[in-house]
Chains A and B, each alone.
Chain A
Amino acid sequence: MKLNLGNQGNSVELRRPSSLADADGGLALAGGTEVIPLLRSGILRADTLVDVRGVIPRGISGTEIGGGATLAELEVDPQIPDVLREACRLAASPQLRNMGTLAGNLLQSTRCWYWRLKWPCRLHGGDECFAHDGEHREHAIFANDFCASAHPSDVAAALLALDATVKTTSRTFPIGELYRVPTEDDRNITTLGEGELILSVEVPECDASIYLKAMDRKRWSFPIVGVAAVRRGSDTRVALAGVAPVPWLHDGGDPTPLPRNAYKVEILDALVRRATAAL
């Protein structure tokens, strides 16, 4: 079993810029835990890879967390809110948390098997969502009409509940604006522009927070439902992982489950009840 990049045969260039100014012009590589497998399976293609690990901030100063901080660093950091620490702790596997970065985690792709197996689905630019009439037990229960993929990031749900602010190489904006539900006209699930890199995340303080995650194994599983809840004063903000094509702000809208994933609604209701009660 030898492993090469998907575009084997062409030569791939790996650039290791020493400043952000030189970081443009290729596919950014941080932890590589998502990009490398996707390159190998031919879902991503690149002639130039840009190793951005040296140029993306990775420290924590006050409430600002560098995009290059690894999940392993964050899962033990006492300064960050509980919801974020727990989301990092319950994400992926220990090795992946050692390798994967905060920014990379926010930009990970869906685990939809049709998408990962390169079926010509809507997210790949095709004209069908195969999950709708196919195997969709792990798929979206919100905003799933066009594409039923589920966004797997625990960390994104935590940051969305925290109403964090994202700073990129070109702008600063609320994390909710990082994501967009894919549509006929635009199949992207993020609003990042060409060459735009996430530099850091500003996490405002809160009074209490919690992350609850339902998964198929006790560890090392993507969320069936992840519930992030944050309380400031009497306001509680809840965001969800694994239930929509993007991290989902739970604003009371009714879910629209598919025939085989209505069970997710039951889990969601229970976890939201528990999370808000715990705050």
Chain B
Amino acid sequence: MARLIRTEKEIEGRYEEVWIVVEEDALDQWPAGPLEIVGKPAPRMDGYERARGEAVYTADLELPGMLHTAVLRSPHPHARVRSIDLSKALAAPGVHAAIGPNDIPQLVDECCYQGHAVAAVCADTYATARAALSLIEIDWDVREPLLDPNEAVARRSFLSDPRVRERGDADKGLAAADVIVEGEFRTQVVLHNSMETHQAVVQWFGDGIDVYISTQAIWAVRDRVAEQLGVAADKVRVVCNYMGGGFGSKNGPDDYTFIAAELAKRTGRPVKCALTRREENLAVGNRNATIQRLTVGAKSDGTLTALLGEYVNAVGWGGWMAPTDGPMHSLYACANVRSTLYGAKLNLPPMKAFRAPGFVEGTFGLESLLDELAAKLGIDPLELRRINHADHDAEDDRPFSSKNLLECYRRAEPHWERRHEVRARSTETVKRGVGMASQVWYGGGGPPSYAWVRVGSDGRANVVTAMQDIGTGTRTAMAMIAAEELGIPLDHVTVSLGDSSRGPHATMSAGSSTTPSVGPAVRAAAADARRQIEEIAEQRGTPDAPLAEVVALLEDAQILGTGARGPNPTGMQVLTFGVQVAEVAVDIETGEIWVERVAAIHDVGRVINPLGARSQIEGGIIQGIGHTLSEERLHDPKTGTILTTTLDAYRLPTIADVPEIVSELVDEPDTHLTNLGSKGLGEPPIVPTAAAIANAIRDATGADVRSLPISREEMLRALREAESRKSGEQRGAPAAV
């Protein structure tokens, strides 16, 4: 039965209080451990069409009469368009329409970052459209850009008000400390670089509109398109059957969708607007840079007495303030915590969510600082973390719905024990070491999400839910859940998704929420269908007959089940946990770093598909390695122009950069969370990787690396610093005696 409740909704650490209608979750959870299908490895069900190149991505879509768009983007980080003349571009052969500043809100004449969209042209081919861009006459008034985050804070150029969070009394806590460690940590701008660039194909039908788009959030696209274009939401059909990666950058329609919509309206033709790789690396988001000034105080027994942080998120011109302060408030039991978070507004491209935004950066700072503290206290880093384990959510004084971090630590022990043997393999020039870091993140999902299940007389089931599979394998997970509940083979289940007009609402694929949000709805729908089938069996007097036998009677009749995601447990904090142990080798003469092995143990409740789960862990760690060692968006320090928009200059990891990865999941259902007990796994694995590697480097070399990426330059700088500290200590030693 539907019920109206007021609840907290969380997406990637952003909470809002909302009134929502939920349906009670009437099903008991399955018993823990692998079942018939759920909990056993299954290859992804759309693997063949993707691998064989049959899957049609938005990039592959070619509609009859479709036109192609090129977008004129500001080459300047800060400039005003004094005048613009589109007439020559419009007159060029093959060009069908051109739009400029203020024709739609996404095209502007006050450009505040490089890549800000100014004008757009559509033509028979992309080449024609792009050539026409050079015919646009534009007079720029170039202005001074604001690029330095510290200067932005001093000038109070903020995206939103600074956020102060405090529990206990951090000053008193610091005064009570036996040992205090401080450090300034920096993280760089990282670019999502989904392999399929952002793009959409838009076509009008009367007063309705079809949007084919590479997106993580078809419902968010639907609602925002409807709102801006003044179209009834159900007349906006958003389709995304396959998409080539998002990682947080494809949670909305963006400029290209509205550009295509306007051009499609003007031309009466379907219009594609696809970004180039270079545009992709300017205009559709990034993981923002951060500066973190951190202080930790502890008793000599390791008990934390205070954690303090001043965080500057260099968000660029737009976006939001990702919770870089989050790990400091949620990872440890420390009674006294105070943080200030600034969102520095700069003339640089706007940030967007990127796989555990804020927590990746904040964990690097906090967990590095913890290891510096462990060294100072002479306490084993793993032991220090156990000492400060949070048994309940200290921030809100709430119990966790489930938490198996101590179990993760226990399972990490054999990996952690390897450090003696690993260190022993060091040579004169290549030093080896082991480091660890803990992970905390959201991932509980929440309502609303719905699913339908249709069972036919052939004993097959079709799951319909308008979610999207962004490559994480959630399509397969949904099929597994339905097959398990119905008691039919996995290959008897198909899943229809990715179409807002052909299924009920489902969550966006963000915040590690798809499986924990949609999965329970799918199970509820399958259970609803199964109940009906059991009723028919009962009426036939064969209550124990198998499903196939019962539905064989149906002919063209179908059994339709519906299901909804129930509410999250009241008064409980739902989080995911884990730990990673990294082994590295560092060439202390050349600064070269090899990540040789990463062991990852995560606690995300019940695991639906262990094969897909391992892939998520590996993928997160590998993205984390890029973040830690090789990836960095650079801009010219004077002009703010981005220098690394191509993939020769912006260095994503290749297969040659990958370590041995050992992954393990605790696989204990969260007994308080829905009918599944599952949490999400998309984001957790990237959270601790940078800190674990940095701590391993410190273990190997004694050098404090406090800035990402740990390039050769940073590694050699840290080694020099450690060397001079050591020689300083040696010189100082006699005086201290």
Q: List residues of chain A with CB under 8 Å of any chain B CB.
A: 1-4, 8-9, 111, 113-114, 116-117, 130, 133-135, 137, 214, 216-222, 224, 260-261, 263, 266-267, 270-271
Contacts and interface: CB of A to CB of B under 8 A. Distances in A.
Nearest to B652: A217
Given A260-B713, A263-B713, A270-B590, A219 B127 contact: no
Contacts of B125: 2
Interface size of B as a range: 35 or more
In this complex, the member of A4, A111, A263 whose beta carbon has the largest number of chain B beta carbons within 10 angstroms is A263
Interface in B627-650: 629-630, 634-638, 641, 643-644, 646, 648-649
Given A8-B131, A137-B713, 10 more contacts: A1-B126, A8-B130, A214-B590, A218-B657, A219-B654, A220-B654, A220-B656, A222-B648, A260-B713, A267-B591
Interface in B549-605: 589-592, 594
A217 B127 contact: no
The CB with the most chain A CB atoms within 10 A, among B131, B629, B653, B713, is that of: B713
Given A134-B638, A267-B590, A267-B712, A217 B651 contact: yes
Contacts of A1: 59, 126, 197, 274, 276-277
A217 B644 contact: no
B404 interface: no
A205 to B, nearest CB: 30
A138 B592 CA distance: 15
Contacts of B9: none
Contact of B711 (A216, A266, A271): A216
Contacts of B306: none
Nearest to B626: A217
B712 A224 contact: yes
Interface string B112-131: 00000000000001110011
Interface string B703-733: 0000000011100110000000000000000
B192 interface: no
A135 B276 CA distance: 24
A65 B523 CA distance: 66
Q: Which 5 pairs between the two chains have the least Cβ-Cβ distance?
A: A270-B589, A2-B126, A218-B656, A219-B656, A4-B127
B505 interface: no
Contacts of A3: 127
A216 to B, nearest CB: 5
A277 to B, nearest CB: 12
Contacts of B68: 2
Nearest to A225: B590
A266 B590 CA distance: 7
Nearest to A134: B636
A130 B636 contact: yes
Nearest to A274: B589
A2 B129 CA distance: 10
16 contacts: A2-B126, A2-B127, A4-B130, A8-B127, A114-B643, A116-B649, A134-B636, A135-B634, A216-B651, A217-B651, A217-B653, A219-B657, A222-B648, A263-B713, A266-B590, A266-B716
Nearest to A224: B712
Contacts of B126: 1-2
Contacts of B654: 217-220
| Most chain A CB inside 10 Å of its own CB: which residue of B274, B591, B644 | B591
Nearest to A2: B126
A221 B651 contact: yes
Contacts of A217: 630, 651, 653-654, 656-657
Contacts of B590: 214, 266-267, 270-271
A113 B649 contact: yes
Nearest to A117: B643
A1 B68 CA distance: 9
A263 B717 contact: yes
Nearest to A92: B648
A2 B67 CA distance: 12
B589 A266 contact: yes
A78 B646 CA distance: 35
Nearest to A260: B713
A266 B591 CA distance: 9
Contacts of B653: 217
Contacts of B636: 114, 130, 134-135
Contacts of A113: 634, 643-644, 649
Nearest to B634: A135
Interface of B: 59, 68, 125-127, 130-131, 197, 274, 276-277, 589-592, 594, 629-630, 634-638, 641, 643-644, 646, 648-649, 651, 653-654, 656-657, 711-713, 716-717
Nearest to B277: A1
A132 B641 CA distance: 15
A262 to B, nearest CB: 9
B64 to A, nearest CB: 18
Contacts of A137: 711, 713
A42 B635 CA distance: 22
B241 to A, nearest CB: 20
A8 B125 CA distance: 12
B150 to A, nearest CB: 19
B21 to A, nearest CB: 43
B353 to A, nearest CB: 24
A267 B589 CA distance: 7
A224 to B, nearest CB: 6
A224 B635 CA distance: 19
A263 B637 contact: no
A267 B715 CA distance: 11
Nearest to B709: A216
Contacts of A221: 651
A260 B59 CA distance: 40
A216 B630 contact: yes
Nearest to B280: A1
Contacts of B716: 263, 266-267
A216 B632 CA distance: 11
Contacts of A111: 648-649
Contacts of B127: 2-4, 8
Contacts of A222: 648
Contacts of A130: 636
Contact of A214 (B130, B592, B643, B657): B592
B447 to A, nearest CB: 39
B719 to A, nearest CB: 9
A137 B649 CA distance: 12
Nearest to A133: B638
Contacts of B592: 214
Contacts of A224: 712
Contacts of B635: 135
Contacts of B277: 1
A4 B657 CA distance: 33
B649 A134 contact: no
A231 to B, nearest CB: 21
A219 B649 CA distance: 14
B276 A116 contact: no
A232 B620 CA distance: 49
A111 B630 CA distance: 17
A263 B591 contact: yes
Given A134-B637, A263-B717, A267-B591, A214 B712 contact: yes
Contacts of A270: 589-590
A221 to B, nearest CB: 7
Nearest to A93: B654
Nearest to B714: A263
B644 to A, nearest CB: 7
Contacts of B657: 217-219
A8 B277 CA distance: 19
B248 to A, nearest CB: 22
Contacts of B629: 216
Nearest to A152: B648
Contacts of B276: 1
